[in-house]
């Protein structure tokens, strides 16, 4: 289904398949996006009372913007029984993460990196590791360097800032590929 044309009929099809597949889990990522395309009342009508004969349905929804959700969604038991906030990791958690994964780096570098990654999620931290490894591979090196990690950190930070602004301009390259392409242009 094309994201731009998604509507209540599409959601009805998904919910029907979910119920037929019970026991099953339905994960709705970016619930706030969905509710821009499907009327809140329509959404609530579709999920209210949904229960297969044998039970076994679990609905999980995520959002980066719980403040944008209608209170009929996030403040009514029976629709979503539990709300779990997963905040960005605190500095001691980031430090542990980087010490675990960057054992070849100096402790000072790791401490600086953990401090500079304030507000980033674990997914962002993992992306820094992945992207820095790709930068090293593109440079034909068997290990990432501090510079590779800095490039990855700057890319992740810039992409997060663009996402926070709503990506006003479509990126020329997919997330994280800019440093690889820049390195290839220099290497040629």
Q: Residues 116-163: pLDDT tens digits?
A: 999 999 999 999 999 999 999 999 999 999 999 999 999 999 988 887
pLDDT for the residue 133: 96
Q: 186 with 140: CB under 8 angstroms?
A: no
- Assess whether 117 and 163 both reside in one domain: yes
Q: Assess whether 105 and 137 both reside in one domain.
A: yes
Q: Which of 43, 74, 105 marks a domain boundary?
A: 74
- For residue 26, the cross-strand partners are 59
The confidence score (pLDDT) of residue 2 equals 45
Same domain, 124 and 149: yes
Supply the pTM of this predicted model: 0.64
Domain end (from 44, 74, 104) = 74
- Residue 95 shares a structural domain with residue 70: no
Identify whether 82 is part of a domain. no
Kindly tell me if the per-residue pLDDT of 184 is higher than 70: no
CATH classification of the domain holding 16: 3.40.50.300
Question: Domain range for residue 20?
Answer: 3-74
Query: Hunting for tokens 């995520």 — which residue is that?
Result: 62
Q: Encode the chain in three state secondary structure.
A: CCHHHCCHHHHHHHHHHHHHCCCEEEEECCHHHHHHHCCHHHHHHHHCCCCCCCCCEEEEECCCCHHHCCHHHHCCCCCCCCCCCCCCCCHHHHHHHHHHHCCCCCHHHHHHHHHHCCCCCHHHHHHHHHHHHHHHHHCCCCCCCHHHHHHHHHHHHHHHHHHHHCCCCCCCCCCCCHHHHHHHHHHC
Q: Nearest to residue 31, comparing CAs of 1, 63, 59, 77?
A: 63
Write the pLDDT tens digit of every residue in 67-118. 888 888 877 777 777 888 888 999 999 999 999 999 999 999 999 999 999 9
> How far is Cα 69 from Cα 73, in angstroms, rounded to an integer?
7
Q: How many domains does the chain have?
A: 2
- Quick one: 175 exposed, middle or buried, by C-beta within 10 A (0-12, 13-18, 19+)? middle
Examine the domain organization and report whether 100 and 59 are in the same domain: no
Say whether both 59 and 121 belong to one domain: no
CA pair distance 91, 1, nearest whole angstrom: 40
With respect to residue 20, please indicate whether it lies within any of the assigned structural domains. yes
pLDDT of residue 187: 59
- 109 inside domain: yes
Task: Decide which of 34, 49, 74 is a domain's last residue.
Answer: 74
Average pLDDT over residues 31-36: 88
Would the pLDDT of 177 be above 90?
no
Could you count the other beta carbons within 10 Å of the beta carbon of residue 49?
7
């Amino acid at each position: 289904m094309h994201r731009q044309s998604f509507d209540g009929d599409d959601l009805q099809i998904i919910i029907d398949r979910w119920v037929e597949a019970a026991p099953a889990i339905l994960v709705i990522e970016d619930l706030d996006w969905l509710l821009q395309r499907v009327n809140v009342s329509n959404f609530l009508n579709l999920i209210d009372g949904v229960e297969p004969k044998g039970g076994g349905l679990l609905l999980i929804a995520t959002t980066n913007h719980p403040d944008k959700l209608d209170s009929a969604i996030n403040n009514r038991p029976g629709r979503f029984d539990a709300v779990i906030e997963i905040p960005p990791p605190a500095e001691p958690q980031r430090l542990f993460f980087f010490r675990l994964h960057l054992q070849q780096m100096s402790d000072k570098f790791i401490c600086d990196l953990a401090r500079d990654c304030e507000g980033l999620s674990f997914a962002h931290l993992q992306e820094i590791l992945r992207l820095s490894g790709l930068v090293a591979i593109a440079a034909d090196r068997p290990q990432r360097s501090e510079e590779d990690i800095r490039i990855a950190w700057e890319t992740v930070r810039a992409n997060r800032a663009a996402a926070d602004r709503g990506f006003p301009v479509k990126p020329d390259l997919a997330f994280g590929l800019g440093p690889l392409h820049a390195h290839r242009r220099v290497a040629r």
